[in-house]
Structure 1
Amino acid sequence: MFLNDRLSLRYIIRKPIKSNNKILVKENNNSSKRSLFLMIHGYGSNEKDLFALAKDIPENFCVISIQGIYILNEDKYFWYDIDFSNEEKFVHVLQAKKTIKKINFFISEVINKYELNNNDIWLCGFSQGSILSYAIGLNNLNIKKVIILSGYLENKILKENKVLNKNLDFFISHGIYDTIIPISWVKKSLNFLKDKGIFSFFFKEYNSGHYLCNSNYKDLINWIKEKNIL
């Protein structure tokens, strides 16, 4: 594992592998290509955080975890500024929208570089990363699965007058003792999805704070394996 900076964003990767640990043969048929599993970390973290999940993610995925574009301090990054004291400015909308464009562009780069399936992209975000994952997934028709860990849907960063991607499957989890993102924000997000006709989601609350507890982790991995159709 090493930090790759040859594309527009820095990232680490676990390429799809066979049971014999050989790199999968590249295919010309898009349906036979491997799927991208893209990880987007939270505020003040880094690309190695969510990448710890890779050991339990099925080997047919190309797992990539990206590094935030802004530096908080040594080995800590973020995607846009946050005003923790002001709910209305919790998301720096302009920065977040620019970041979304950069991540979408990076997705296209990765798809081309590693010859992945452009029609079966998975997103996995924690906190700030999950806020971005909501927006990217709902505005990108190539996204099929979105994992929301301790996050919520921010309407302000969705593209205006854009047809929503309703062909999405969500895994949404949250700690009831989360003091960073209130559970009430999550409930509003679920209502938004229902109002837009999106009902394909798994949602569960956990006796935890702003982190991924063991039971949440187990449910997540089980969900990934159940939804993983080769």
Structure 2
Amino acid sequence: MSEMVPVDADAVLWSAPADERAGRPLLVLLHGYGSDERDLFGLAPFLPAEFVVAAVRAPLSPPFPTPGWSWYPIEGLDAPGGDAVTTAARSLIDWLDAATPAEGTVGLLGFSQGAAVALQALRLQPDRFAFVVNLAGYVDSGALPTDEHLAEVRPPVFWGRGARDEVIPAARVEHTIQWLPDHVELSGRVYAGLTHSVSQEELVDVRAFLEKQLAAQRP
């Protein structure tokens, strides 16, 4: 079993001070492999202002010379019995338990490895998260005992990916294509010409998705 390393609460970047967060929906940003919390936090000005945004730093250091941080090792990821993605998702959930009230609305937005962790957290606690934005990520192939309940709840998930993304293996993309529609309310796009990155066009679609989720939460 993979050893769980806690998220560094002191490294989290917040869009609002603690005294301005109560009663507002939370959007947690999870960066990709070899990056850090500052990467996706740069998207905050493009996201709906109703959200409190928290950009979390992954807890692991990738092998030299890769810079930044990682949610789980990419070496041996497909080995039988691997649980690295689940361990990373549990670390995220532990941080969330300590950082936010349990009754608040929480959505997750992840890029690449961060998106895989976001989807895994949703699978672990289908009733905890209001939605997930999956940018250039994938669903881990291992089964979880909570998957059946996820398919009953069917929370909204936006999946955006580039037609020229050659970073995520084709087998993981294909598994995600097959798996997500059976378990969530799926929307999203494949962006022509886009590589393993995020485009302005995609950000427009993400904002529209987030605004739709805000509207669904209003009385």
TM range (shorter): 0.7 to 0.9
- The equivalent of 1:153 in structure 2 is 139
* 1:177 maps to which of 141, 164, 170: 164
Which of 69, 73, 77 aligns to 1:81? It is 73
1:139–1:159 CA contact under 8 A, matched in 2: yes
Contact 1:173 1:205 (C-alpha < 8 Å) held by counterparts:
yes
- Larger mean Cα displacement after TM superposition, 168-177 or 66-75: 66-75
Distance 2:133 2:73 in 1: 22
Letter of the structure 2 residue corresponding to residue 14 of structure 1: S
- Local SS of the residue matching 1:203: strand
- Worse overlay, 130-139 or 69-78: 69-78
The question of 1:132 aligning with 2:117 is answered: yes
SS in 1 for 2:100: helix
2:28 alignment partner in structure 1: 38
* C-alpha RMSD of the superposition: 2.9
Letter of the 2:41 partner, please give it.
F
Residues 150 and 174 in structure 1, CA contact (< 8 A), matched pair in contact too = yes
**1:9-158 equivalences in 2 (<5 Å):** 10-15=11-16, 24=20, 26=22, 33-72=23-62, 76-83=68-75, 88-89=78-79, 93-112=82-101, 118-140=103-125, 141-156=127-142
2:197 to 197, 211, 225: 211
Distance 2:37 2:194 in 1: 23
- Alignment of 1:190 with 2:177, yes or no, is yes
Q: Which runs of 5+ in 1 are unaligned?
A: 18-22, 27-32
Structure 2: which amino acid aligns with 1:110? Answer: A
**Divergent runs of 4+, >6 A:** none
8 Å contact from structure 1 (residues 144, 167) kept in 2: no
Normalising by structure 2, what TM-score? Answer: 0.81
Q: CA deviation at 1:162?
A: 5.6
| Distance in 1 of aligned mates of 2:85 and 2:74 | 10
Give the Cα separation in 1 of the matches to 2:189 and 2:13. 29
Q: How far apart are 1:186 and its partner, in Å?
A: 2.8
Aligned residues: 205
